[in-house]
Structure 1
Amino acid sequence: MIIACSLLTSDTTIILPILLFIGIITGIMKKDHLTESILTALIAFIIGSIIAFVISLITVYYTYGGLYAIAVIQYSLFSIIIYTIVGCIGDVIGHYILSELN
């Protein structure tokens, strides 16, 4: 879901709310303890963000050229960290939503 979200949305302002929603869904789906749920979301969002970054880097390189790809590389660490934090926050919210529903 992370890879599809980052590749299919062309508007960069909608990526963070969609990632928060994906985090909420994963928090609801994962019915373990909170720490296990956060750990799995952390790993999933790091791996998903890195894969989405590599795919978008290849796309930008072939579409716009090397200079734009360098700009994407410079912005990559910040975006991976922000996407991971937002996903983990969404996972915690989803875990608490599931506990309230039960």
Structure 2
Amino acid sequence: MLSHHERRELERIQEWFERDDPHLARALGQVGGPGGWARSRALRYTIDALALGLILLGAVTLNFGLIFFGAVCLAAAACLHVTRWNDTAPRHRRLD
């Protein structure tokens, strides 16, 4: 827990950032999931399909390398699905 003096100093620094460089203050204050290509729903589903295709192809041909690479792609796709959170724009936070 911050003391009253520490909280006041942090508020002064935040106000200074907002006056001096509002773009930097907005970038530092963003809360939310990843942006850009990681939010792309088509990319996430394409990686899902690629991973499942590699696993099925590896199972049919009994190729452990394809199964392993498919599992790695599936893990990456799961990370993209989990970290997406939602498709809303990121919010900005202020010190309480």
TM-score (norm 2): 0.33
- The structure where helix makes up a greater share of residues is 1
Q: Whose RCO is larger (CA < 8 A, sep 6+)?
A: 1
Q: Considering only CA atoms, is the larger Rg found in Structure 1 or Structure 2?
A: 2
